Structure 1
Amino acid sequence: MKKASLLTLVVILVSSLVTGCGSTTSPSPSSSTSTSGVKDPATITIAWLPNNSGDNEKEFRDEFDNVITKATGIKVENKLTTDYAIAISALESGDAQLGYFGPNEYIVSHAKDPKVVPVVVESGDSGTLKDALYYSRFLVKKGNENQYKSGDGFDIDNIVGKKMSFVSTSSTSGFNMPAAAILGKFTKQDKWKNLTKDGLAQGGNDKFFGQVLFAGSHQLSLVNVLTDKSDISAVDDIDVAQYVELSQGKDNETGAVYTVKQGADAPFNTLAGAQYEIIQSIPVLNTPVEANSAALSQKTLDAITQALTSDQTTNDPKIFAPKGSKGSVFVQPHRFLKVEDSWYAPMRKVLGYTS
């Protein structure tokens, strides 16, 4: 894997959004993969990662299913999971025909089988792909942040030997992007010049981290740092936004402080008032709704794409909810846009999947 500094990671991703990759139009999701002759299943199954499998997102999932059913005339069911690998393998095998997984998960699946394709992606506030980003963050419990101070800001220089909470080795923002940032910084040092992602996934006296936890979801990784099970947690912004509010600083910037809301749903229902601070934040290209195009006909894929990118879906508050709403997955003023595989080329570079 090519090592890159955090600044390089940011430049690669942000530059990709302000150049040709910012177009809001693109070929149909399976333009490079023929799906002629594919027979549609009697039921379309959507696989969801643990982050989106909770009861608090049921209303959203039901409405999303309704959009697909109305567009295709095919019944839809959800495959809810407690493990990343189960959800991903369901899509790869064709047991599920649609999924909503992070860019790393998509890139790995597409490399195994090019018939796994992106269908749509959530836009940014501009309604285009130019700001279609979310964030991977290194978080610490409020009160513990001073040990990570560097001048007027923060750095990850002092994370060696700490208790670290990741989400899953498959997770883009919960492991792979943080790992890329760590490797980009520390492999320049003789002591850690042979450090790898596999090495970051293991804890111990002779390892980079003293202890490594894999929480299984972004929500539970945040719980780990708030309850002192970890010193630092890797957590994205989008999967925990509904449970917290910004208390200090600028959203998703280093030094920002967040507080768990009163009345927050589980697993934060006993943590109201708990606070955490960002010590590093990394932009990530937005997550695709993806399909196994060997399991759905082109006609059905086109119908799904048209329905999801329609103004009717964009204006549906059960799909695109106000920011911070309970049970929200996609938020206003965003919309779905068609996207092709090449849009994720910058992520491949950042994550080390290209030479």
Structure 2
Amino acid sequence: MPDPDSSDPVRFRAQVREFLAQALTAELQTAGLEQIGVFSPASIGKAWHRKLYERGWITPTWPVEHGGCGWTPLQKYIFEQECALANAPTLSSAGLLMCGPILIHFGTPDQQARFLPRLRSGEDYWCQGYSEPGAGSDLAALSCRARRERDAYIVDGSKLWTTHAHHADWIFLLVRTSQHERPQQGITFLLANLHSPGVTIQPIISMSGEHEVNQVFFDALRVPIENRVGAEGDGWTIAKRLLEFERSGVYGPRVRRLLAQARRLAESDGARWHHPLFRQRYAELSIEADALEAGELRLLAAASDASNVTSSQLKLAGTETLQRVSELCVLAAGTSAAYTHESTRCDDHHREAGVAMARYLNMRAATIYGGSSEVQRNILAKTALHL
């Protein structure tokens, strides 16, 4: 339920700051500051999830009847801004921002009663099963198969780049249940327990050294029919809706957090901070951050649900700006970026510089996952420009 005195943006921002000052421990803040991947490590994310859940702020984007906060779009944005500026950890979006809204829109009452409370409380940790070898941006080319066998589907195949699968309890996945002339047909949306027989998870180490993603193999995995969302063959419609949720993240506050890091790193070397070329680049990206935040606020005010156009605009502008500012952080760090951030022997500056380098490498994938920048431009060309 919404707080009784939270309707005024100024008072609401003060509430958020007060909560963060109390709830963000030094350990959580350090983890947020040193976060390399798109999400915080699972153990940190679960600890922060619990604090938000206890405060009643874990699902601000959900309808009130399903446990949402009743916040306005501006309040949601203020919350994201303050969390970023306070170096709060970033929670996995697979459950809260993707699977949850899909179950709210397409799930049966039984599915909602079964999954949504445990998702909100953090008892179940989710991951996404979309990409496959040979089916990334061309998602309709997926070949992971599921055959109907009485009251269950038998799933065989694999999913690739599955973030945090090694920590997850459940996976939502797209499977091919029939062959049609159009590849978008014959795709079905399933919910599978990753602790079931027939699941093997193989780690993939990124070039930044992180174990964030995995390949998940299914060998005769049995998924009960009651874990199908929507009708058989409706998976593509559900998938498109889910991708809009995934691409509709808030990017402006994340850019601000990285700009603050770039300034800290550069100021440790006065000559670098005052170098005219560095200051020019810093100013350019600050202006980009202003424009990005203004655009996000305008789009949030225009509609509560993102369309194909708005979600693609946000994804395209947000991820490309994040990549540019992560590059600025490496430039600010100078030769200190060569340090390994995991070393216990380096001081705070060299550790932060090492984190900046690892984050820069990790963020090269930002313009690929969730639909590459090329895909977003094609969507905008078709739906906004009618080309």
Q: Which category of TM-score, normalised to the shorter sequence, fits these structures?
A: under 0.3
Q: Larger radius of gyration, structure 1 or 2? A: 2
Provide the TM-score with structure 2 as the length reference: 0.26
Bigger relative CO (Cα 8 Å, ≥ 6 apart): 1
Higher helix share: 2
Provide the TM-score with structure 1 as the length reference: 0.27
